[in-house]
Amino acid sequence: MSVQDFIASGLIEVYVLGAANETEQREVELMVSRHPEVKAALEQAREDLESFVSVQGTEPRPEMRDRILQAVENQDNAEEKGRIIPLNNGRTGFAFSRTAAAAVIVLLLGSVAFNLYLFSDIRKAHDEVNLVSAQVKNLRDSVKTTAEQKQALQARFDTMSASFRNSMDAMRALENPATIVMKSVKNDVPQAQAVVYWCSNTRLVCIDPKTLPVQTETGKDYQLWAIVDGKPVSVGVFSNGTDSELKMMRVVPQAEAFAVTLEKKGGVASPEGPMYVMAKI
Amino acid sequence: MSPKIKIEEHELVALLKAHDQRGIRILYDNYSAALFGVISRIITEQETAEDVLQETFIKIWNNIGNYDASKGRLFTWLLNLARNLAIDKTRSKDFKSSGKVRSIEDFVHNIDRTSNTSLAVDHIGLNKVLDELIPEHRVLIDLLYFGGYTQAEAAKTLDIPLGTVKTRVKIAMTQLREILGVKI
């Protein structure tokens, strides 16, 4: 749009009447800043509107003058309450008399007493500073503790994420698995159960420790065995921490049964420890 | 109307910015009629209009620091302040519920009435002058400026296409300039 078209459009007048929307306002302000002709047209429109308004002026009732000027003045009084009133200028030069000397001595004594008072006050303040710095130290310690807790939480989170990833991998590797529930064969843990998922096509075995007792002593691992031709073949070791997870073991082409024993860490060639759960296929 | 005090605008602004009480008195004597004229065009109820006039002067007094002479004349700033306060008042909840909001009929039919009440100018026959404005132009200026209507609202109220609002405003303001320029 050319400058002339812009001036002829009526947007300037709409702007002056306060009826331009935000985009239009910006447009007018931009044009005004760039083109003196537009600025002149804006001034002209303003003057026209202002004379239009002026000739329609309405005198307020005479009593309004005092009322409004009073209200404005009250605004200032309210403000003044917060203002600092300067102290009287001290008068300089004075005659020194005995009375004055006596007064000075009294003042000096008073000053000593006041200093003593101040001193005790300073001690109090000092104690307070000590107390505050002790509190600051406490706070700093607790910040440190928080940082450590955060680190521990982060580590735990990392462990859990890894374990979740493992489980997901195991799940993905399994396709139409056969579910083999191994039941307790150990009298002191009759509720113990673990589940073997045995993939029908890949023959991959996964173990879910389920309700196998959580291992508290270190240096031990559960070991999964496949019974092939009457002989136990190690499928692998697994642990059962507090985060029970599905664990991918290895491919077992065939088996007549599965069993879990508790062995020393890392597993053994043939079962030595107690058998916990078992299932025949 | 009190005689207007002759003072340069920048001097008046300086007085006001210095929070000199003389400034607000001069301001009142010179501008109260114009400002009250605008306010009472927007709010017909006298008591409310007077309250808004008071609010306007308090706001001028407190906000004069924001006035920037390089952005426009003092009168423009004062008018905008008064108009905005009055329009805000008409949009406030208690005002709406009191049924004081002006209708289009008010704008169309009260032209004579408002311009009859103690005019600030001594031009005889000003009514006639303003009546020379084609009514549909006059009403458009009234709706936008005194009614605080948006262009879309005005178009809807007057049942004209939105696209013609600006053109009509242009014509109306040009006509206004001619009338005021010749007669005043």
What pLDDT, in 10s, does the model give residues A67-123? 999 998 888 776 555 554 445 444 444 455 777 778 878 888 888 888 877 877 788
**Residue written as tokens 């462990």?**
A159
What pLDDT, in 10s, does the model give residues A26-40? 999 999 999 999 999
Q: What's residue A149's pLDDT?
A: 85
Q: Is B111 exposed, middle or buried (0-12, 13-18, 19+ CB in 10 A)?
A: buried
Q: What is the span of the domain harbouring residue A23?
A: 3-54
Q: Which residues of A touch B (CB under 8 A)?
A: 8-11, 13-14, 16-19, 21, 44-46, 48-61, 64-65, 67-69, 71-73, 75-76
Under-50 pLDDT residues of chain B? 1-3, 99-101, 109-124, 184
**What is the 8-class DSSP label of residue B65?**
G
Q: What's residue A89's pLDDT?
A: 46
Q: What's residue A231's pLDDT?
A: 92
On the question of pLDDT at A209 being above 70, the answer is yes
Is residue A125 domain-resident? no
Rg from Cα positions in chain A: 46
Q: What's residue A177's pLDDT?
A: 81
- Give chain B's domains with CATH numbers: 1-100 (1.10.1740.10), 102-184 (1.10.10.10)
What pLDDT, in 10s, does the model give residues A127-170? 888 888 888 888 888 888 888 888 888 888 888 888 888 777 77
| Selected residue of A11, A13, A43 to mutate for chain B interface (largest B Cβ count, 10 A) | A13
Is residue A198 domain-resident? yes
Count CA atoms closer than 13 A to A231's CA, side-chain side. Answer: 4
Is residue A128 domain-resident? no
Residue B23 amino acid letter: G
Q: What's residue A55's pLDDT?
A: 82
Shortest CA distance from B35: residue in chain A: A57
- A75 vs B1: CB contact, 8 Å cut-off? no
Domain count, chain A: 2
CB A157, CB A251: distance < 8 Å: no
What pLDDT, in 10s, does the model give residues A221-266? 899 999 999 999 999 998 876 666 788 888 898 999 999 999 998 8
- Taking one residue from A and the other from B, the number of pairs with CB-CB distance under 8 angstroms is 147
ipTM: 0.81
Among A232, A175, A174, which Cα is nearest to A207's?
A174
